[in-house]
C-alpha cells in the first residue's frame, strides 16, 4: 500500500503508478450522533489495523513484459488518539523487482538495487479526512494511468488486495519515509499528500474498518461540508 499510496513505484524502470480520485461512492455510514463513542471507534480502528499483519502482492505492468514486482506491507505501532482525533502508524515496506531472463541492468545499477526497503511513519487527522472508500489496488493504479494519459498501461495485482482509502481536497496527510535501495545510503523524506490508505487481504475487513473511519471522521467534524469533492 502509501499514495501517499500503497502501490509500488519503481523509478529505475520508469514505473509511475499514481493514485488519483475515484468516482466510487463512499460507504454508507450511520449518523454521527448515533453508534459507538469516538473513544470506542478509535480503539476499534487501532485494534483492527494492528491485527492485519503482513500483506503481500505481486504486480505486473503491461509496458514492462516479463517484469514482476513483489511487495510486502506491514502496519505496526498503531496509536489512535481520540482526544486529538489522530491516528499514528508505522508501515514497513519491502519491494523486490524480478527481471525476465536476459534483461540487463541499467548503467550504474547493481543486482542489489532490485530490492528496496522502507519505513513510513504516518499521521492522520480525522478532522481533515473528507471521504473514505474501499478500492481494489489495480483499480487505483489503472485509473491513475488513465488520468496520466496512458490508458494503454494495464496493471495487474495478485492476490486481490483492498485499500481503505482516505481522501482530502488538499495535502493534509503527513508522512516521513526512510528508504534504502540495495547497498545505497538511506534516503529520508517528509511529504504531505491528499490521500492515505491501508491494505487488507479481504474486502469484508476493509469494509468494517472503512465504516469505523467514516464514523470517526463524522464525530471529529470531518467530511464534505461545503462542496462535493469528487
What's the confidence (pLDDT) of residue 33? 54
What's the confidence (pLDDT) of residue 111? 81
Domain chopping of the chain, boundaries = 11-99+113-219
Question: All 3 cell numbers of residue 70?
Answer: 513483489
Contact indicator for 5, 18 with CB cutoff of 8 Å: yes
What's the confidence (pLDDT) of residue 14? 36
Size of the chain in residues: 230
What's the confidence (pLDDT) of residue 106? 76
What's the confidence (pLDDT) of residue 224? 63
83 phi/psi in degrees, rounded to 5 = -65, -35
Strand residue runs (E) in the chain: 54-61, 68-81, 86-98, 115-125, 131-136, 155-158, 162-167, 173-181, 187-193, 195-200
Q: How far apart are CA 164 and CA 209, in angstroms?
A: 8
Contact indicator for 1, 7 with CB cutoff of 8 Å: yes
Please calculate the CA angle 92-220-206 and round it to the nearest 5 degrees.
45
Contact indicator for 126, 86 with CB cutoff of 8 Å: yes
Cis, peptide link before residue 159, omega less than 30° from 0: yes
Residue 133 makes CB contacts below 8 A (sequence gap 6+) with 22, 24, 25, 26, 27, 164, 165, 167, 210
What's the confidence (pLDDT) of residue 1? 44
- β-strands 131-136, 162-167: how paired? antiparallel
Give every residue of the chain whose pLDDT is below 50, as ranges.
1-32, 225-230
Please calculate the CA angle 48-82-202 and round it to the nearest 5 degrees.
20
Write the burial class of residue 168 (CB in 10 Å: 0-12 exposed, 13-18 middle, 19+ buried): buried
Amino acid at each position: 500500500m502509501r499514495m501517499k499510496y500503497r502501490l509500488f513505484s519503481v523509478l529505475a524502470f520508469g514505473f509511475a503508478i499514481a493514485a488519483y480520485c475515484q468516482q466510487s461512492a463512499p460507504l454508507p455510514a450511520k449518523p454521527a450522533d448515533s453508534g459507538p463513542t469516538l473513544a470506542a471507534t478509535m480503539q476499534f480502528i487501532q485494534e483492527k489495523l494492528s491485527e492485519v499483519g503482513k500483506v503481500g502482492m505481486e504486480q505486473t505492468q503491461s509496458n514492462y513484459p516479463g517484469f514482476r514486482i513483489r511487495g510486502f506491507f506491514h502496519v505496526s505501532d498503531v496509536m489512535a488518539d481520540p482526544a486529538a482525533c489522530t491516528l499514528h502508524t508505522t508501515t514497513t515496506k519491502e519491494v523486490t523487482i524480478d527481471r525476465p531472463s536476459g534483461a540487463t541492468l541499467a548503467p550504474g545499477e547493481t543486482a542489489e538495487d532490485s530490492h528496496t526497503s522502507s519505513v513510513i511513519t504516518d499521521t492522520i487527522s480525522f478532522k481533515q479526512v473528507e471521504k473514505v472508500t474501499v478500492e481494489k489496488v489495480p483499480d487505483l493504479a489503472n485509473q491513475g494511468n488513465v488520468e496520466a494519459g496512458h490508458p494503454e498501461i494495464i496493471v495487474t495485482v495478485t492476490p486481490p488486495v483492498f485499500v481503505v482509502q482516505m481522501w482530502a481536497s488538499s495535502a493534509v496527510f503527513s508522512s516521513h519515509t526512510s528508504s534504502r535501495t540495495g547497498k545505497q545510503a538511506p534516503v529520508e523524506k517528509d511529504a504531505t499528500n491528499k490521500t492515505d490508505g491501508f491494505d487488507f487481504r479481504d474486502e469484508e475487513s476493509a469494509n468494517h474498518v472503512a465504516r469505523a473511519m467514516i464514523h470517526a471522521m463524522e464525530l471529529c467534524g470531518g467530511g464534505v461540508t461545503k462542496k462535493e469533492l469528487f
